[in-house]
Amino acid sequence: MARILPVFATQFIVLSLLSSFALILVQGEDDHDFDEAMDRDLLGLKKEKLSHFKLYWHDIVSGKNPSSIGVVKSPVNSSTLFGFVSMIDDPLTEKPELSSKLLGRAQGFYASASQQEVGLLMAMNFHFIQGKYNGSTITVLGRNPVFNKVREMPVIGGSGLFRFARGYVEARTHTFTASTGDAIVEYNAYVLHY
């Protein structure tokens, strides 16, 4: 009995200290100074507008200077290439011809993320290099079932003139060359931004 009392007293003290720390942490949550409500005008956020961009994405996997490089091979024997990952720095042009005006580059990666169909996880920034959007980016993250006629993926943000951007893109395969794996995809981006 004499031995049980000190163990009980020690447990009681430890439990009391833990309870006190928890109470301090809970009460301290309202006392932080790292956030504040802001007026949109202070950031130059005047009126939100909707912009439409039509551009062509060139995924070049063949030749001496490909814009898409496989970095992870499919670790399993899969008809969908499940697990495959490719890094991209794909040209974005005004027309389907690669020789047309370069508007920017799609930089990021795509990965085969489906075991039942060819469905890609797309994570990329459309980095613009022309006109008033020079240096600005639109970020696209979503699922791309490549054999569907039209694929829709969300715009989840951006930078520069696309800060706080949101919207979606529609992708339509313009051409695919089976012998090389090269593809040209028409992207229509609908973006709400300030």
Among 10-19, 72-81, 98-107, 144-153, which stretch is predicted with the lowest mean pLDDT? 10-19
pLDDT of residue 86: 98
Question: Is residue 14 included in any domain, yes or no?
Answer: no
pLDDT, tens digit (0-9, with 9 covering 90-100), for 6-47: 656 666 666 666 666 565 555 555 556 777 777 777 777 778
Q: Cα–Cα distance between 188 and 153 in angstroms, integer?
A: 11
Q: Where are the alpha helices (DSSP H) in the chain?
A: 4-28
Question: Is residue 27 included in any domain, yes or no?
Answer: no
**Whole-number mean pLDDT of the chain?**
89
Q: How many domains does the chain have?
A: 1
Residue type, 163: R
pLDDT of residue 40: 72
Under the banding of pLDDT at 50, 70 and 90, the label for residue 125 is very high
Question: Is the pLDDT at 72 greater than 60, yes or no?
Answer: yes
pLDDT of residue 37: 77
pLDDT of residue 16: 66
Q: Cα–Cα distance between 154 and 164 in angstroms, integer?
A: 13
Q: How far is CA 13 from CA 8, 20, 175, 188, in A?
A: 9, 11, 72, 65
pLDDT of residue 127: 98
Angle CA 144–133–168, to nearest 5: 25
Question: Is residue 70 included in any domain, yes or no?
Answer: yes
Question: Is residue 37 included in any domain, yes or no?
Answer: no
pLDDT of residue 106: 98
pLDDT of residue 41: 73
Copy the structure tokens of residue 61: 């996997």
Closest CA to 94 of 146, 119, 121, 131: 131
- Find the domain containing 66 and state its range: 46-193
pLDDT, tens digit (0-9, with 9 covering 90-100), for 131-156: 999 999 999 999 999 999 999 999 99
Question: Is residue 32 included in any domain, yes or no?
Answer: no
The mean pLDDT of 175-183, rounded to a whole number, is: 96
pLDDT of residue 131: 95
Q: What is the CATH number of the domain that holds 155?
A: 2.40.480.10
Q: Cα–Cα distance between 102 and 171 in angstroms, integer?
A: 18
Question: Is residue 161 included in any domain, yes or no?
Answer: yes
Q: Cα–Cα distance between 70 and 88 in angstroms, integer?
A: 9
Question: Is the pLDDT at 81 greater than 90, yes or no?
Answer: yes
Question: Is residue 21 included in any domain, yes or no?
Answer: no
Q: Cα–Cα distance between 140 and 158 in angstroms, integer?
A: 9
Question: Is residue 148 included in any domain, yes or no?
Answer: yes
Among 43-52, 55-64, 99-108, 117-126, which stretch is predicted with the lowest mean pLDDT? 43-52
Residue type, 33: D
pLDDT of residue 15: 64
Taking a C-beta distance cutoff of 8 angstroms, is the pair 78, 41 a contact? no
